[in-house]
Amino acid sequence: MRKPVVAANWKMNGSLELCEHFSCELVRPEASDVWIFPTALHLRSLVDSFRESDIAIGAQNVWCEPEGAFTGEISARMVKNLGGQLALVGHSERRAMFGDSDTVVARKFKSIADAGLMPVLCVGETLEERESDSAFEAVQRQLNAVEEAWDCPDYSHKVIAYEPVWAIGTGKAATAEIAQEMQGLIRDHVDRRDSGEREELRILYGGSVKASNAAELIVQNDIDGFLVGGASLDVDEFNEICEAVKS
Ligand code: PGA
């Protein structure tokens, strides 16, 4: 039985006041994991607030190296040192706006795992790729790039988030059928390596998840939770999503 996850991706939003508000109002999870990915500037505040709880805090992005002359960057080792437990990698906004190629994503992924954090690998196709029937090819290419760059491909203690680019921030979530179909294919892809991780690996769905669509998505076999952007900035809405995942 995979433990469900509800993860908040705050993107370049939030403030110390929002951190404080979440620390007061977020309902502590019972049967699911709750993770928050604030900006790097707000990591410490959330780590401190949730120190005594099961809620884990992660970074939205890190650079590939543990330290060095990389002005403006942070490393997975630094996130770990602050008390962070996870990091996102390969989010489509990073791929599209900040030039994170498959190769860079693979290097970042490895640096996160090497630092002892849990990487959450985001994959997903563009609208063009979906409309030209090459959605799975695109996702497979993103998965292969990471697996190839990795000495010992192994998904234990790692998470995949399927986030179709056309569903992110558009208000148009994938239907439960579309999300389930792709996430089933992702699970089969992982299974082909026959490493026994099939049943263990948690695959999240992300893209316009809200309190109103969480219940129908979470009942799908291969949807093990959510990566929530916009709706995660409102603690009441986020609590409702957590509630839908629990029940
Ligand atoms: P959204 O973003 O929920 O606002 O669509 C999800 C994400 O980008 O992780």
Report pLDDT digits (tens) over 165-196.
999 999 999 999 999 999 999 999 988 766 66
167 and 207 Cβ atoms separated by less than 8 Å: yes
pLDDT value at 247 more than 80: no
Q: What is the pTM of this model?
A: 0.96
Q: Give the residue with greater pLDDT, 148 vs 82.
A: 82
* Residue 54, φ and ψ in degrees, nearest 5: -85, 0
Mean pLDDT of 48-59: 95
- What is the rounded distance in angstroms from the CA atom of residue 180 to the CA atom of residue 162? 10
Angle (CA) 226-110-59 rounded to 5° is: 45
Pairing outcome for strands 202-206 and 33-37: unpaired
Atom of ligand 1 nearest to the CA of 161: 9
**pLDDT given for residue 198 in this prediction:** 81
Ligand 1 centroid – CA 195 distance (Å): 31
Mean pLDDT of 29-42: 94
**pLDDT given for residue 194 in this prediction:** 65
Q: How far is CA 121 from CA 23, 75, 168, 204, 246, in A?
A: 26, 16, 16, 10, 23
> Tokens for 189?
């892809």
> Atom 9 of ligand 1 has which residue's CA nearest to it?
229
Could you tell me the pLDDT band of residue 209, with boundaries at 50, 70 and 90? very high
Instruction: Look up 157 and say whether it is catalytic.
Output: no
Mean pLDDT of 194-213: 90
Atom of ligand 1 nearest to the CA of 230: 4
183 and 219 Cβ atoms separated by less than 8 Å: no
Ligand 1 centroid – CA 19 distance (Å): 19
> Tokens for 96?
């599209």
**pLDDT given for residue 151 in this prediction:** 64
Mean pLDDT of 83-111: 97
- What is the rounded distance in angstroms from the CA atom of residue 91 to the CA atom of residue 109? 12
Atom of ligand 1 nearest to the CA of 92: 8
Could you tell me the pLDDT band of residue 91, with boundaries at 50, 70 and 90? very high
Pairing outcome for strands 159-162 and 118-123: parallel
Q: Which of 6, 11, 100, 123 to mutate to test the pocket of ligand 1 (most atoms within 8 A of CB)?
A: 11
Is the CB of 213 within 6 Å of ligand 1? no
**pLDDT given for residue 72 in this prediction:** 97
**pLDDT given for residue 152 in this prediction:** 58
**pLDDT given for residue 128 in this prediction:** 98
> Atom 2 of ligand 1 has which residue's CA nearest to it?
229
Mean pLDDT of 14-37: 95
Cβ contacts of 232 within 8 Å, gap of 6 or more: 7, 8, 9, 10, 36, 238, 241
94 and 137 Cβ atoms separated by less than 8 Å: no
Is the CB of 14 within 6 Å of ligand 1? no
**Residue 154: count of CB within 10 angstroms of its CB:** 14
Instruction: Look up 163 and say whether it is catalytic.
Output: yes
Could you tell me the pLDDT band of residue 131, with boundaries at 50, 70 and 90? very high
Atom of ligand 1 nearest to the CA of 208: 5
**pLDDT given for residue 29 in this prediction:** 77
Ligand 1 centroid – CA 229 distance (Å): 3
> What single DSSP character describes residue 175?
P
Active-site entry in 91, 125, 129, 240: 91
